[in-house]
Amino acid sequence: MAARRRIRLLPKHQRRMEEPRWGSEARDEGRTEKMEEKLKVRYHSKEIEKLTYIEGKGDWIDLRSAEERKIKKGEFCRISLGISVELPRGYEMLVAPRSSTFQNFGLIQPNSPGVVDESYCGDNDILMMPVYALRDTEIHINDRICQFRILRHQPRLCFEEVESLENEDRGGFGATGIR
């Protein structure tokens, strides 16, 4: 009589998932094809540079200051990014500081990341970056201070209450489960 093999399923969080189809590329049977959506942009200043991708650097797009600003340590303000946008239907925008924003300017974004939904689309709905200064600093027109990407809206969720999730605990919040 052959020995029976026991198969143990991994907890859901350790199972290999299909690669997500968001971002700038979708993978289909080994071939890469670009996805494209139209983002309408109204520039409120001729001084700021136009939005563009930095090739080979991912799909986040830098946003620039549209104003000169002196900010004192401990001060909160909103820096104009000088543009209004109309997102493609079914999308929202995430706005976050660039990795160098704190180092270069001593600024943090208190609501990081900022979320812009598709209803914020009027001619005068100008994008702003709310900042808190941890040191005295100066911002100049065209300083790259934050970045954005757009994401599809999440699907409508149905909440199901359960007594147990039937998975192994990973080790608590802030743990990877690896010692």
Catalytic residue among 28, 117, 136, 169: 117
Please report which confidence band the pLDDT of residue 35 belongs to, taking 50, 70 and 90 as the band edges: confident
Q: Is residue 2 part of a domain?
A: no
Q: Is residue 29 part of a domain?
A: no
Please report which confidence band the pLDDT of residue 15 belongs to, taking 50, 70 and 90 as the band edges: very low
Q: What CATH code is carried by the domain that includes residue 140?
A: 2.70.40.10
Q: Is residue 175 part of a domain?
A: no
Q: Would you list the DSSP string of 32-91? A: EEE-----EEEES-SSSPPP---TTS-S-EEEE--S-EEE-TT-EEEEE--EEEEPPTTE
Q: Is residue 11 part of a domain?
A: no
Residue 123 annotated among the catalytic residues of the structure: no
Give the closest residue to 123 by CA, choosing from 37, 40, 63, 52.
40
**37-46, 55-64, 96-105: which has the minimum mean pLDDT?**
55-64
Q: Is residue 127 part of a domain?
A: yes
Please report which confidence band the pLDDT of residue 70 belongs to, taking 50, 70 and 90 as the band edges: very high
How much is the pTM?
0.73
Q: Is residue 12 part of a domain?
A: no
| Residues contacting 16, CB < 8 A, separation 6+ | none
Mean pLDDT of 70-88: 98
- In this predicted model, what pLDDT tens digit does every residue of 128-145 receive, in sequence order? 999 999 999 999 999 999
**Number of domains into which the chain is organized:** 1
Determine the structural domain holding residue 50 and report its residue range.
37-152
Q: Is residue 146 part of a domain?
A: yes
Q: Is residue 32 part of a domain?
A: no
